Amino acid sequence: MKPKCRSVSTRGATLLLAFLSCQSIVGCNDGPTGPPEPPEPPEPPPVATLLAACEGGRALGFPCERVDLVGRVALPNLTPGRTPDGTSDRWAVNDIWGWTDPQTGVEYALVARHDGLAIVDLSTPIEPRPIAFMGSPTSYSTWRDVKVYADHAYVVAEITGHGVQVLDLTRLRGLTEFTVLSADARYREVSAVHNIAINEETGFAYAVGSNSGGETCGGGLHMIDLSDPRNPSFAGCYAAGGTGWLGSGYTHDVQCVVYRGPDGDHAGREICIGSNETAIVVSDVTDKSNPVTVSTATYADRDYIHQGWLSEDHRYFYQNDEADERNNRVSRTRLLVWDVTDLDDPVLVKEHLGPSEAVDHNLYVHEGLIYHSNYTFGVRILDISDPANPMERGYFDTVPDRDDQTFDGSWSTYPWFESGIFVASSWDEGLFVLRLQQ
DSSP characters over 31-42? S-SSSPPPPPPP
DSSP state at residue 13: H
Q: Say if CB 355 and CB 372 are below 8 A apart.
A: no
Q: Please choose, from the candidates 30, 28, 2, 6, the residue with its C-alpha nearest in 3D space to the C-alpha of residue 17.
A: 6
Cα 95 from Cα 209, distance rounded (Å): 15
Q: Say if CB 303 and CB 267 are below 8 A apart.
A: no
Cα separation values, 118 from 9, 94, 135, 389, 430, Å: 68, 11, 8, 37, 10
DSSP state at residue 359: P
Taking only the tens of pLDDT, the chain with its 438 residues reads 433 333 333 334 333 333 333 333 333 333 344 444 545 545 545 555 789 999 999 999 999 999 999 999 999 999 999 999 999 999 999 999 999 999 999 999 999 999 999 999 999 999 999 999 999 999 889 999 999 999 999 999 999 999 999 999 999 998 999 999 999 999 999 999 999 999 999 999 999 999 888 899 999 999 999 999 999 999 999 999 999 999 999 999 999 999 999 999 999 999 999 999 999 999 999 999 999 999 999 999 999 999 999 999 999 999 999 988 888 888 888 999 999 999 999 999 999 998 888 899 999 999 999 999 999 999 999 999 999 999 999 999 999 877 777 778 999 999 999 999 999 999 999 999 999 998
Output the pTM of the full model.
0.88
Cα 76 from Cα 172, distance rounded (Å): 21
Q: Say if CB 349 and CB 388 are below 8 A apart.
A: yes
Q: Is 177 helix (H, G, I), strand (E, B) or coil?
A: coil
Q: Which helix (H) or strand (E) holds 17?
A: helix 12-23
